[in-house]
């Protein structure tokens, strides 16, 4: 029992020793520098947790002094606000420091040299004296400080902050976004015209970035210049009114040059909009996006550059495949560069709408589909099956089968003297995309229920082997036969008159019923209905 009590007392003492705070203050003057002032304390420097430096007429702190401070192994709080002499914190002064969590800067500080706090343990909000007015003194000084949540510039006429984010040029330039800011979504304020390069480096929290219309041309917002080592980002959204930048389903696009400039690493689906860009950047532009299961290149994309879709770490098949399973090529595609999809071992479906098979560079599909999770199927236009089957892309090496697809056409019809284009935009979709399907695939049809006094009546087709799951429903399905098909929705005119009212006993119960607004109703509805082209009143 005594032994247990002794052990408990020992542990308590040890705990107290670990958590004890040792606070010290040193004063510098003409005859006392930092090193001598610290020596005069007569304590082990590695036990000091909080240190204040007072310096009214001594020598300014030097790189050697910062090296001493940086080497103090327990120092958590460094207060230099009593230093009226020092104006500069030297290059790399506290880089990689693992203990200092809070710093107060010299009262007349006007310069922070490069990387002075990079990779450090700073926490919370850092406040700067009004004498620090140079924007470059904030850039590349606090990179990868994962617990730094904000910047403040009280009384500063040149630098400012909003919710912890640093700005300059009267708020027109976003200067630095702190790594530790906890919000997962951030909207750049309207009025910002420039996003400074390096501003989002090393951010591991931000998932969605929204860019306003005011962000202007000439801003380098590429992955390498602005978003290097950003690990959590899922999407960049741009105001449609922005003249210079756009978003292609979360990808950042430079509209002036028609180029993709940033692929968020945590994006889950890639859609390259051919109305914005005609080609993709080279060398593993999508290489960090390991979660992407589907890549779609829409009409207007003409080429995919060398190694564009290859994973960054892809020298080993198991580590470099990513999650990619499906690839969709448009009819406009003419060229796929060498190694473009190299090592994408889980790909199980490729759909190419191009009637003429695109030219394929060396090893463009090397190891694609090599994993045995699912067989690799390449779906191609019916009329081009022979051309593709001649081992297009060398995909037979990985067990690929070439399978034809057929067109699903929404044919014109003129019910109530209207064309289907005037009525709506009906859609036909299968697993291969809009307007095409392979034999045996389920095709989903959809059309609006009403349009300008017209009501949907039924789906029709001239093909006897097209059997709708429910022809009377505006949303239905059918199984694709081995040929192209034409389908169309039939609409009927709805009258709002109530003459020639009949009793419910004369209704054609097999015909769909509508109320006087054209909305389809079921048997429980009571009131005026239109059924089989006649008006009835249900009691």
507 — pLDDT class (breaks 50, 70, 90): very low
Strand-pair partners of 295: 270, 327
Taking residue 438's Cβ as centre, other Cβ atoms within 10 Å add up to: 19
Closest CA to 411 of 489, 339, 300, 469: 489
- Cα separation of 429 and 445, whole Å? 7
Angle 317-318-324 from CA coordinates, rounded to 5°: 80
Helix (H) or strand (E) holding 248: strand 245-248
Please give the average per-residue pLDDT across 51-67, as a whole number: 96
Look up the pTM and report it: 0.82
Is residue 337 within 8 A of residue 305, CB to CB? The reply is: yes
DSSP 420: H
pLDDT of amino acid 518? 57
Strand (E) positions, 132-188? Answer: 148-152, 159-162, 165-168, 173-176, 185-187
Is residue 256 within 8 A of residue 280, CB to CB? The reply is: no
pLDDT of amino acid 410? 87
User: Counting every residue, how long is the chain?
Assistant: 539
Residue appearing with tokens 């006392």:
32
Is residue 393 within 8 A of residue 361, CB to CB? The reply is: no
Q: Is 419 exposed, middle or buried (0-12, 13-18, 19+ CB in 10 A)?
A: exposed
Which pLDDT tens digit goes with each residue over 277-314? 999 999 899 999 999 999 999 999 999 999 999 999 87
Query: Which pair of structure tokens corresponds to residue 410?
Result: 């929404």
- Cα separation of 102 and 240, whole Å? 42
Closest CA to 400 of 390, 409, 415, 410: 390
pLDDT of amino acid 509? 59
Is residue 172 within 8 A of residue 135, CB to CB? The reply is: no
Query: Which pair of structure tokens corresponds to residue 200?
Result: 């989002």
- Pairing relation of β-strands 520-521 and 513-514? antiparallel
- Cα separation of 534 and 507, whole Å? 8
Which pLDDT tens digit goes with each residue over 188-208? 999 999 999 999 999 999 999
- Cα separation of 458 and 464, whole Å? 16
- Cα separation of 279 and 260, whole Å? 8
pLDDT of 13 over the 70 cut: no
In sequence order, the 6+-apart residues with CB closer than 8 A to the CB of 154 are 127, 130
Angle 102-107-111 from CA coordinates, rounded to 5°: 85
Question: How crowded is the C-beta side of 122, counted as CA atoms within 13 Å?
Answer: 30
- Which range, of 62-76, 118-132, 392-406, 414-428, averages the lowest pLDDT? 414-428
Sign of the dihedral defined by the CA atoms of residues 519, 525, 531, 535, in that order: negative
- Cα separation of 43 and 46, whole Å? 9
Which pLDDT tens digit goes with each residue over 84-98? 999 999 999 999 999
Residue appearing with tokens 């082209």:
533
Measure CA 537 to chain center: 55
How much is the CA Rg of the chain, to the nearest whole Å? 34
Please give the average per-residue pLDDT across 108-134, as a whole number: 97
Alpha-carbon distances of 85 from 55, 100, 116, rounded to whole Å = 6, 22, 19
Which pLDDT tens digit goes with each residue over 124-157? 999 999 999 999 999 999 999 999 999 999 999 9
pLDDT of 1 over the 90 cut: no
pLDDT of amino acid 289? 93
523 — pLDDT class (breaks 50, 70, 90): confident
Which pLDDT tens digit goes with each residue over 432-450? 999 999 999 999 999 888 8
pLDDT of 31 over the 70 cut: yes
Is residue 394 within 8 A of residue 358, CB to CB? The reply is: no
pLDDT of amino acid 528? 63
Strand (E) positions, 349-469? Answer: 349-352, 359-360, 377-381, 401-410, 427-430, 433-434, 436-438, 442-446, 450-451, 454-461
DSSP 315: S
């Amino acid at each position: 029992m005594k032994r247990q009590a002794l052990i408990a007392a020992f542990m308590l003492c040890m705990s107290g020793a670990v958590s004890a705070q040792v606070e010290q203050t040193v004063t510098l003057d003409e005859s006392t520098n930092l090193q001598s002032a610290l020596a005069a304390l007569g304590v082990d420097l590695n036990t000091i947790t909080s240190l204040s430096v007072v310096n009214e007429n001594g020598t300014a702190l030097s790189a050697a002094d910062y090296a001493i401070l940086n080497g103090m192994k327990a120092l958590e709080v460094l207060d230099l606000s009593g230093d009226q002499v020092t104006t500069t914190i030297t290059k790399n002064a506290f880089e990689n420091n693992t203990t200092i969590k809070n710093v107060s800067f010299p009262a007349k500080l006007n310069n922070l040299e490069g990387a002075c706090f990079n990779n450090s343990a700073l926490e919370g909000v850092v406040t700067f004296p009004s004498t620090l007015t140079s924007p470059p003194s904030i850039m590349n000084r606090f990179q990868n400080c994962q617990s730094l949540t904000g910047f403040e510039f009280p009384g500063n006429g040149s630098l400012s902050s909003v919710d912890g984010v640093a700005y300059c040029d009267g708020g027109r330039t976003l200067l630095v976004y702190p790594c530790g800011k906890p919000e997962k979504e951030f909207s750049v304020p309207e009025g910002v015209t420039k996003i400074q390069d390096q501003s989002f480096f090393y951010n591991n929290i931000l998932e969605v970035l929204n860019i306003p219309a005011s962000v202007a041309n000439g801003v380098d917002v590429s992955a390498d210049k602005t978003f290097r080592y950003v690990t959590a980002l899922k999407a960049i959204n741009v105001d449609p009114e922005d003249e210079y930048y756009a978003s292609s389903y979360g990808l950042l696009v430079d509209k002036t040059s028609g180029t993709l400039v940033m692929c968020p690493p945590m994006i889950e689906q890639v859609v390259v909009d051919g109305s914005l860009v005609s080609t993709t950047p080279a060398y593993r532009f999508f290489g960090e996006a390991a979660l992407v299961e589907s890549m779609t290149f829409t009409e207007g994309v003409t080429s995919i550059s060398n190694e564009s879709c290859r994973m960054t770490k892809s020298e080993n098949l198991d580590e470099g495949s990513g999650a990619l399973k499906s690839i969709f090529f448009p009819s406009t595609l003419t060229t796929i560069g060498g190694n473009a999809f190299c090592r994408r071992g889980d790909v199980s479906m490729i759909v190419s709408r191009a009637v003429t098979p695109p030219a394929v560079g060396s090893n463009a599909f090397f190891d694609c589909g090599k994993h045995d999770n699912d067989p690799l199927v390449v779906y191609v236009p019916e009329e081009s099956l022979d051309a593709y089957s001649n081992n297009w892309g060398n995909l037979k090496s990985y067990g690929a089968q070439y399978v034809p697809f057929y067109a699903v056409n929404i044919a014109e019809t003129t019910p109530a003297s209207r064309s289907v284009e005037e009525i709506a935009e009906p859609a036909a979709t299968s697993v291969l995309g809009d307007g095409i399907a392979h034999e045996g695939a389920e095709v989903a049809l959809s059309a609006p229920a009403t349009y300008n006094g017209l009501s949907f009546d039924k789906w029709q087709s001239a093909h006897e082997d097209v059997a709708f799951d429910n022809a009377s429903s505006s949303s239905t399905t059918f199984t694709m036969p081995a040929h192209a098909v034409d389908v169309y929705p039939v609409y009927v005119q709805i009258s709002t008159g109530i003459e020639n009212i009949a009793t419910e006993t004369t209704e054609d119960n097999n015909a769909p019923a509508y109320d006087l607004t054209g909305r389809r109703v079921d048997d429980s509805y009571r009131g005026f209905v239109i059924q089989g082209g006649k008006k009835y009143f249900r009691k």
